[in-house]
Structure 1
Amino acid sequence: MTTEIRFEPTLFVFLGTSAGQIGWRLKELLRRAYGDIPVLRFLWVDADSTVDPYAAAWFSPMERAELTGFNGDAVLANLNNYPTIKAWWPRESRLRAGFINRGAGQMRPVGRLALFRMFNDRNDGPAFIDKLLQAIEAIQQIEHTEATERMSSEKMRFIVERRSVRVVIFFSTCGGTGSSMAFDLAYLCRHFLRDTNPTIMSVAILPSIMDKAIKNETPIQRERIRANTYAWFKECNYLIENPHWHVAYPEGAPISIEAMPFDMTFVVELGNQAGNSLNSADDIYNMVASAVFLDTGSSIGGAIRGFNANVSVLLEEFKGKRRAFSSLAAASLIYPAQKVLGYCDARLGQAMIQQACLAQPDKKEVEEAASALLGRLGLRDAQLLESLLAGHQMANLNIPAIRKAGDVEEIRRLLALQEESNAKERDYLKGKMNDVTDDLLAQAQQALQAEAAALAFERGARFAQAVLDQLTAEVSSHEQIAEATCSLPGMKVRISQQGITEASLSQAEEAYQKARERLRGMAGNTLRAAQRTLLKKHWQEELNRARNDCLTWLAEIDRRTLQLHAQRQAANLYDQIGEQTRRHKSTLAGVLQTLERAVGKLEERAAEFLKPSTEEKGIFELTVEAVDAGYIQDYYQRHASRLNPVATYRSFAQQASVDTLDKLAGWGESEWADQMQQHADAFFAEDVENTSLLKALADYHGQKAPRLIEEKMDSLVRYCHPFWQFDANSGIQGQEGKSIIGVEDEHSDLIPPKYRQDPQYEVKSTGFKHRIDFARVQHGLPAFLLRDMADYKTYYEAKRKGLDPLHTFPEAFRAEEVFPEEKEEARNLFAVAAAFGYIVQVGSFYYFDAQKEYSSLKIRPGRENRLEQGREKAEDAFTQSDDLIRRSEQLIERDIVNMGNQAAIRLLEERIVEYKQALSRMAPENELRRQYEKEIRALQSKQEQLGKL
């Protein structure tokens, strides 16, 4: 089955550090699912060069614009040299040169200043505007559209929606970077994409998330991020109600656009309306990245975009405020492939060690292996002695002369010479034999090291240890040692049993001396001379026998001496090889302990893979596992029955390379466990990868599967609520929302019928085997209903009179409050009462003056009639007094009756003109502007009531 994946050319813009955390996660999800899609582009803009190295690695230099490397204090000191900044910088701001640190410092005007200052600064390479334009051009290029579609495969067919372009801007409302430049980025993108009618979306992160993200958050930081948030919502509401943007940037013509900044404004906080919350900022970043991922490439995205295009509630009002805000959530019912694979790998790895490395070996196989090992090492007693004696023959240079000599004294002389020569030659040959022994020992030790390592690695440490046990087995010297023995001590005893002894050598030496004495006795006296003359033949025969006996025993002395030395060298070699073997046994004992611990570690890992995901009450989990420990164990049993752990281990040993026991001993239990799991992975990975979630449930649960699948989907739908919270008792109704469900194949019979038939759900094919994705969007909340908005306003009111002016463009200072006006009629009455002279200002305080004595006689009203200090607070105090409201209505009505409607209209007009003149003298950010503008509207409304045309 080929799944169609429709991509809308999209530019993702991440403003600030927290948005960048969403950015790399989104890039990772998209790349893992589809590769690098040419019509999807990314730009991370930040006023801080400090960045998480892992996040930075996901963005190329052209995908990250750092608005750093300038002196903000110098900019403010020379503001006249920066006209595009001066045009919007608050004129009455106390934020002046000397107050700006590195980065935006959570001050919104400083963040916007960074954008304008570095807008086209190319001193260190391409400027911000260059990177933005390159990304915008890339999503419009036909070459990238065609390249994307050529990336289609048998499983997925990529289609690019050629008639639409999208920009998604991520930021936090809390800091000084994202919240300060989100509107600029939106309008810049609208301007540069003006021929494509782009859809501009924003995803704004609220303070509850930043509380989690900021380590060691101070009370001042907590207050500032809330004040910034209220300022941002106030500006956003202003641009929604007054959709006009005229701004000059440092490069290019001024931009003038009649449109709201965002077509959709998603807000995200830590908790949702169902009472669940994410556990950390990272969880939110993952959730947002997942939701936008589903909205980008999969068929879910097309369904969401289709629904969003028909949303009408965003244009409606509740209590006079636009229901312009939306939220989202994403969750997935997953087949825990990594858990299944990890459990199977751990269990098979455990079986490989237990059955191949730790199992008790067969005695016969051990004996055969030990015997073969001795043969390969050349350590059989006969082999070893042959090797030691090879090439060690005596020269015996005088033997021919001795055999030819006919004179006894000559023979004796030559024998003496030969005896002396042989003694020296034997010493020489012993030395050579010592050298040969050293060579054989070195070779045997090296070979034994390799052989022991090979045995331990290929056939298991316990088998290798059993073989070495055979080599070091002790024997009794009183027993006859068989030729087939595999014991090194046994072969040492066998040499002494079968070889030459000191007594044997002494016997040869005695026999030689006797032969020499016989030879000496045949010379010298008269009797021997007579025998040699009279019995010549007999004498000659006796001489030959004596000479031959001397030569025979002299040769035997040589042979026995060298044989005995070879035996001693062999015995010494066996001792040293035995000592080495015992050291290897000790090493193997350590390896066996490590393997036992590795089995335990794999047991722990297997148990860990069986644990269900944490279901802490009130904590929202992004993924919910569809199968439990029972399924995972059953899966392993079914697949492992086809495998032989011993053969599996042998295949591992053939691929790896370990040539010494020390290297093997260097493997800790973790390395053994890792190696076993990695090798085992190949026997399960392909099948796990090809397992379909729905099919797995059907196969495992059988007839119960349809009901269980429906229950799991029902649970996730109830669970997956958008991440915002508001007062459910506010009376607001009619939020528009939809749940989009992504499955591998939307035509599967395993999908519960109710999800096909209920219009609030839409099921789409994604081609993802291991997951059922739920994406939920909800639209239609006014900002003032968001949880904690009242707190945001409190901090805003406290902060806006301080050093930080909070707002980033002049019109924002006179924008309406996020909250709807309370007691609007009473507030309008305050304006009319002031116009008729019943509310007067004395110093900085305002008073109710029922007799108008202050305006006529300058008599200060009594303290009991004092309202409050400041016009706005005075209005608030007035609206809280039902008595003042009633009296003012009566007094104004009496005056209108007395003077007539037309005179009253003219009086109100005089006040309107007066207020407008006052406005013309005020700076844009003057706090009284909004109050006067509001009162002008109230007076104009009263004029209409009185009949003004």
Structure 2
Amino acid sequence: MFTTDAAENNHLTVMPVICVGLGGTGRDVLVRIRQNIIEEFGSLAELPIISFVQIDTDRGGPIPSYRGQSIEFTPAEEVHIRVSLNEVNEFKQNYERRKKNTYVQNPDDHILEWFPDQLIRNLSAIEQGAGAVRAVGRFALFKNYNQVVTALNLAHGRVAGANTSALIARGIEVMPGLRVFVAGSLCGGTGSGMFLDIGYILRRLFAATVPNFETYGYFVVSPDLYGGNDVVKANCYAALKELDYYTRKGTIFDAQYPGERRLEESRSPYDYTYLMSNATPGGTFIIPPTDANAKGKITNTIAQKICLFLSSSATAAAAISARDNLRAIDATEEYDRHPRPNRQRYMTTGLASIYFPQDKINLLAGNQIKIQVLQFWKNGLGQAPSNSQMQQFYTSQFDWGTDDLGQLLKQRLEKVPVQGGTVSSNLEGWRNSQYSQIGAAQSRGQQDMLKTQFPQNAMALLNYVRPADNSKERGVWLTPIVEQTSDVTNDIKARSVER
């Protein structure tokens, strides 16, 4: 996304981006990124160099609109990797054929070579999630491989061919290349089952043909946020073991995807991997699992981290600096000094920024106004402009210091006709009307109705008596006075000279 070019004095540049969500956690991250884009740019269309691909075994529910705009995924952005009951039964039949004769070519050989035998019997249609089983999530990916590859290629096509004239007009330089951010959880079945494959599929699709290609993985490793049972703990542990294995030098990731030549890759699945947790290594909870919105907070952290590249060149530079430091450490000291040496290729992140929650502040400000209006009525009508206040306002404009001139101006202004009366009589009539309504409100329902009606009446009164320099904004009761002020002033001055 946005980067900092020090040679250009913090010149703002942008690189095409694909955000990939795996499972429900990835979906939540992508939704929050889309919300942040609307906050920063006004609409998703204003940032055409970012595209989305949501991959899930569960279709998920509708996504509420945000600030009046739809943020639902389009059909091209969403891949529901479902497997029908017929496909599952056919897979079971192919499994039985393979057991009888392993030398006969089987259309599901590329899956059966790794799918656990003990899961075959109870395998059923995959429509609403992977049931927290990693192998089932990977199975669904293999069965929908072509749809996933098509969605990723289309996503790249959208950003590569995007009309960037609006960004250039803002002074933002569009750089060649592609960054892919993959987000999900390693605790469930969908994300944990396919996150390695997605990383290697992305390498196969773009690494050889797209310049400056980089992949970033953001994965939640907090089983407590997903029930904390043995299954999700085992999923997370197994996923981390596999990630660590394929990140080590000398290992080969080997997979046969349908319709493709066999993939053998010695590189790590992602260039940069962030492991996200709700607790410190010492066991201190930053986000307690008892927090009802714990998962929402950690997915928001991931989304905000990704969006830092969109909101500030300085923070993007800091993130890139941390990334480059990791690369330098890995180049000079490949393994740490643990008794069982580990690759130093993982990072984590948190948020330390001031966030302006506009919607909450608007709500708070609205409530404060309501309180002030109620306080206004509780304390009476002393805030309405009185005759003496009006006199002081207008006499101060002409720096008249004598009581006689001020009194004369007051008398003259009080007689200026305004909508069938004078300002003083109109204010008095308005005041009496309000007290009449208060006196007539006997029941609780009528009194509650006044709480709603009185703020509206106060706003209406403000339209009559609002001071302003121009007639468009000035209250209509004050306009005749202002229009006659010059003539009245000249007349008073002339009479003063005569005296």
Query: Into which bin does the TM-score normalised by the smaller protein fall?
Result: 0.5 to 0.7
Structure 1's 175 and 73: CA in aligned 2 closer, same or farther, altered over 3 A?
farther
Deviation per CA, 1:686-728: give whole Å up to 9, x if none.
xxxxxxxxxxxxxxxxxxxxxxxxxxxxxxxxxxxxxxxxxxx
1:44 to 54, 71, 74: 54
Task: Give 1:466's aligned residue.
Answer: 436
1:172 paired with 2:190, answer no
2:141 to 115, 118, 123: 115
Structure 1's 650 and 22: CA in aligned 2 closer, same or farther, altered over 3 A?
same
Does the Cα contact within 8 Å between 1:172 and 1:178 map onto a contact in 2?
yes
Task: Give 1:325's aligned residue.
Answer: 346
Deviation per CA, 1:842-901: give whole Å up to 9, x if none.
xxxxxxxxxxxxxxxxxxxxxxxxxxxxxxxxxxxxxxxxxxxxxxxxxxxxxxxxxxxx
Structure 1's 117 and 467: CA in aligned 2 closer, same or farther, altered over 3 A?
closer
Task: Give 1:250's aligned residue.
Answer: 258
Does the Cα contact within 8 Å between 1:202 and 1:262 map onto a contact in 2?
yes
Deviation per CA, 1:806-836: give whole Å up to 9, x if none.
xxxxxxxxxxxxxxxxxxxxxxxxxxxxxxx
Deviation per CA, 1:109-134: give whole Å up to 9, x if none.
111110111223xxxxxx33221110
Aligned residue pair count: 378
Q: CA deviation at 1:207?
A: 2.8
- Secondary structure of 1:84 counterpart: helix
Amino acid at match of 2:271: D
The alignment-based identity, stated in percent, is 20
Does the Cα contact within 8 Å between 2:83 and 2:143 map onto a contact in 1?
no
Amino acid at match of 1:98: N
Q: CA deviation at 1:7?
A: 2.3
Query: How many Å separate the matches in 2 of 1:114 and 1:268?
Result: 25
- Secondary structure of 1:202 counterpart: strand
Does the Cα contact within 8 Å between 1:47 and 1:66 map onto a contact in 2?
yes
Query: How many Å separate the matches in 2 of 1:646 and 1:52?
Result: 41
Amino acid at match of 1:184: D
2:204 to 174, 191, 195: 191
1:260 paired with 2:273, answer no
Task: Give 2:402's aligned residue.
Answer: none
1:98 paired with 2:112, answer no
Task: Give 1:78's aligned residue.
Answer: 94
Query: How many Å separate the matches in 2 of 1:184 and 1:100?
Result: 22
Structure 1's 253 and 3: CA in aligned 2 closer, same or farther, altered over 3 A?
same
Deviation per CA, 1:402-423: give whole Å up to 9, x if none.
xxxxxxxxxxxxxxxxxxxxxx
User: Any residues of structure 2 matched to 1:141-540 within 5 Å, and which?
Assistant: 141=161, 143-144=162-163, 146-147=164-165, 149-150=167-168, 152=170, 157-162=171-176, 164-193=177-206, 194-195=208-209, 196-208=211-223, 211-212=224-225, 214=226, 217=227, 222-241=229-248, 242-272=250-280, 275=284, 277-279=286-288, 280-299=294-313, 300-311=315-326, 312-315=328-331, 316-318=334-336, 319=338, 320-334=341-355, 342=363, 344-355=365-376, 359=380, 459=430, 463-464=433-434, 466=436
Q: CA deviation at 1:95?
A: 1.5
Q: CA deviation at 1:203?
A: 0.8
Amino acid at match of 1:277: I
Q: CA deviation at 1:336?
A: 6.7
Structure 1's 653 and 187: CA in aligned 2 closer, same or farther, altered over 3 A?
farther
Query: How many Å separate the matches in 2 of 1:238 and 1:653?
Result: 76
Query: How many Å separate the matches in 2 of 1:25 and 1:192?
Result: 27
Deviation per CA, 1:265-285: give whole Å up to 9, x if none.
110111135845114111111
User: Any residues of structure 2 matched to 1:789-828 within 5 Å, and which?
Assistant: none
Query: How many Å separate the matches in 2 of 1:282 and 1:26?
Result: 13
Query: How many Å separate the matches in 2 of 1:148 and 1:245?
Result: 42
Does the Cα contact within 8 Å between 2:441 and 2:447 map onto a contact in 1?
no
Structure 1's 226 and 334: CA in aligned 2 closer, same or farther, altered over 3 A?
closer
Does the Cα contact within 8 Å between 2:222 and 2:276 map onto a contact in 1?
no
Amino acid at match of 2:433: F
1:10 to 10, 17, 20: 17
Does the Cα contact within 8 Å between 1:243 and 1:261 map onto a contact in 2?
no
Task: Give 2:78's aligned residue.
Answer: 64
Q: CA deviation at 1:14?
A: 0.7
Query: How many Å separate the matches in 2 of 1:340 and 1:17?
Result: 29
Query: How many Å separate the matches in 2 of 1:307 and 1:354?
Result: 53
Deviation per CA, 1:559-580: give whole Å up to 9, x if none.
xxxxxxxxxxxxxxxxxxxxxx
Task: Give 2:34's aligned residue.
Answer: 27
Structure 1's 337 and 224: CA in aligned 2 closer, same or farther, altered over 3 A?
closer
Q: CA deviation at 1:255?
A: 3.5
Deviation per CA, 1:523-554: give whole Å up to 9, x if none.
xxxxxxxxxxxxxxxxxxxxxxxxxxxxxxxx
Does the Cα contact within 8 Å between 2:35 and 2:71 map onto a contact in 1?
no
Amino acid at match of 1:317: Y
Structure 1's 271 and 595: CA in aligned 2 closer, same or farther, altered over 3 A?
farther
Does the Cα contact within 8 Å between 1:38 and 1:148 map onto a contact in 2?
no
1:129 paired with 2:140, answer no
Q: CA deviation at 1:180?
A: 1.3
Deviation per CA, 1:655-703: give whole Å up to 9, x if none.
xxxxxxxxxxxxxxxxxxxxxxxxxxxxxxxxxxxxxxxxxxxxxxxxx
Structure 1's 337 and 229: CA in aligned 2 closer, same or farther, altered over 3 A?
closer
Q: Which runs of 5+ in 2 are unaligned?
A: 1-8, 96-105, 289-293, 387-425, 466-499
Query: How many Å separate the matches in 2 of 1:110 and 1:131?
Result: 21
- Secondary structure of 2:160 counterpart: coil
- Secondary structure of 1:105 counterpart: coil
Structure 1's 598 and 15: CA in aligned 2 closer, same or farther, altered over 3 A?
farther
- Secondary structure of 1:94 counterpart: helix
Task: Give 2:461's aligned residue.
Answer: 650
Structure 1's 272 and 361: CA in aligned 2 closer, same or farther, altered over 3 A?
closer
Query: How many Å separate the matches in 1 of 2:51 and 2:232?
Result: 29
Does the Cα contact within 8 Å between 1:85 and 1:116 map onto a contact in 2?
yes
The alignment's TM-score, normalised by the length of structure 2, stands at 0.66
Q: CA deviation at 1:250?
A: 1.7
Does the Cα contact within 8 Å between 1:7 and 1:297 map onto a contact in 2?
no
Query: How many Å separate the matches in 1 of 2:20 and 2:361?
Result: 37
Query: How many Å separate the matches in 2 of 1:288 and 1:117?
Result: 29
Q: CA deviation at 1:231?
A: 1.2
Q: CA deviation at 1:65?
A: 0.5
Bigger fraction of residues in helix: 1
Query: How many Å separate the matches in 1 of 2:28 and 2:274?
Result: 17
Does the Cα contact within 8 Å between 1:171 and 1:203 map onto a contact in 2?
yes
Query: How many Å separate the matches in 1 of 2:35 and 2:353?
Result: 17
Does the Cα contact within 8 Å between 1:6 and 1:297 map onto a contact in 2?
no
Deviation per CA, 1:755-794: give whole Å up to 9, x if none.
xxxxxxxxxxxxxxxxxxxxxxxxxxxxxxxxxxxxxxxx
Q: CA deviation at 1:325?
A: 1.4
- Secondary structure of 1:68 counterpart: coil
Structure 1's 101 and 151: CA in aligned 2 closer, same or farther, altered over 3 A?
farther
Structure 1's 268 and 590: CA in aligned 2 closer, same or farther, altered over 3 A?
same
Amino acid at match of 1:233: L
User: Any residues of structure 2 matched to 1:919-930 within 5 Å, and which?
Assistant: none
Amino acid at match of 1:78: N
Q: CA deviation at 1:15?
A: 0.5
Amino acid at match of 1:330: L
